[in-house]
Amino acid sequence: MSPGTGSIPAIGDEVRRQLEAAGLSPDDLEELIRRAVDEDLDGGVDVTTVATVPADQRATLDLVAHRPGVVAGGPVAAAVFSYVCGDDAIVRSLVPDGTSVAEGVTILSVTGRTHDLLRAERPALNLLGHLSGIATLTRAWVDAISGSGAAIRDTRKTTPGMRRLEKYAVRCGGGVNHRMSLSDAALVKDNHVVAAGGVAAAFDAVRRAFPGVDVEVEVDSLDQLDEVLEAGADLVLLDNFTVDQLREAVRVTAGRARLEASGGLSLSVAADVASTGVDYLAVGALTHSAPVLDIGADLRQEA
């Protein structure tokens, strides 16, 4: 039975296993899907579908890429259909996450009651298109610095409530995740420096309070870099450094800490930045500015 018919909606066991294998929480996702579906119905019914589609009609819905890109969120979309359609749906995931697809490729195919398919369609497409857009943009950055030895990292500039999904999409695109939360690691930024009375003072304060936590320190000058290297920082974020300044920072650091370039980076300069020898490029745009990958839903009635 589907949501709204007296059942307790739940994601099926097979889809739950797929989500867990991807490092995603089925319970957290189920709550997100519930909110998305409820938002779409707003306490009512899908008036267009109820009026035009026989209640017992069955069909197959194909989710098809309308533009080339990198797929992310296949199990997430499958979870939407599992939640809405219940055991009645047959979900076929045809393209693994992280795969590059051409225009016209079918990513997911679902067979079930037409009413349920159409109710699940938009929430599934919203999530799949958004996550695939992030993966596609991430892959473009990764390709731009290929061979440099540097990695593309995301930031905490994520959509509230969707951080784990969006950072999963970054991984699908070949990027690596920065901290998932404020408790994972320390990042001493300019406001912390002001509050603590200096870069070294802020670093030392974190070291004393949380000795087992990695500490990254943001600096905006080579003088500050010398200071935090002397203090023993594990990772230094070089904020708005020029390419020449980044190259000098790499020379001065001489392997004593990992270095991350950040601030105003664009694809057009990615290769130049990576060539300086930094370990990471921090790109907030991966999650806050990625265009949605155009994915459509095509209905086929059963014979």
Catalytic residues: 122, 157, 189, 218, 239
For the stretch 255-286, what's the b/e string if a residue is b when 16 or more beta carbons lie within 10 angstroms of its beta carbon? Answer: eebbbbbbeebeeeebeebbbbbbbbbbbbbb
Contacts of 261 (CB under 8 A, 6+ apart): 238, 241, 246, 273, 276, 278, 280, 281, 282
Helix axes 26-41, 13-21, angle to 10 degrees: 120
For the stretch 190-215, what's the b/e string if a residue is b when 16 or more beta carbons lie within 10 angstroms of its beta carbon? Answer: eebbeebeebbebbebbbeeeeeeeb
| Token digits of residue 289 | 């500015």
Reduced to 3 states, what is the DSSP secondary structure of residue 282? Answer: strand
Rounded CA separation 63/179 (Å): 32
| Token digits of residue 195 | 């509050």
Rounded CA separation 301/219 (Å): 60
The alpha carbon torsion through 141, 125, 4, 22 (nearest 10 deg) reads -40
